[in-house]
Amino acid sequence: MFTPKYPTPDTAPTADTSLVRPLTGLVHPPACTCHHTTAPAPAPTPAPVGRPSVQLTPGALIVAAAGGTGVILVVGTVLVSMLLAVAITAASVAICAVVLRTLLNNHQGR
């Protein structure tokens, strides 16, 4: 009941080598035999002379100015907070140095 049952080895399919064709000399027929004519591509319209290629509407200018202001405010906030963190760390180290110096001087004086 718990022993595995294996199939007999002769039930596996055999490879048929008659279906294999060499790849050399193959000519593919065209997809269709109808004759298509292609329309000529339209000529590109030249850019107007004297005008910039990018035109910003007043709304786009307001959005660009607001986005630039926002980026400047965010970068400024990050830089100020980093400077504040460095200043607080330096003050803490200075206070620790003063306390340690005081403790060491009192210990040597006794």
Q: 15-62, pLDDT tens digit by residue?
A: 666 666 666 665 666 667 777 677 777 777 766 666 556 777 889 899
Query: Which residues are within 8 A (CB) of 53 and not within 5 positions of it... i.e. 6 or more apart?
Result: 47
Helix (H, G, I), strand (E, B) or coil at 93: helix
| pLDDT confidence band for 63 (50 / 70 / 90) | very high
Higher pLDDT, 44 or 81: 81
Domain ranges of the chain: 82-110
pLDDT computed for residue 25 by the predictor: 60
> pTM, whole model, 2 decimals?
0.42
Of 83, 101, 105, the C-alpha closest to 93 is: 101
Helix (H, G, I), strand (E, B) or coil at 83: helix
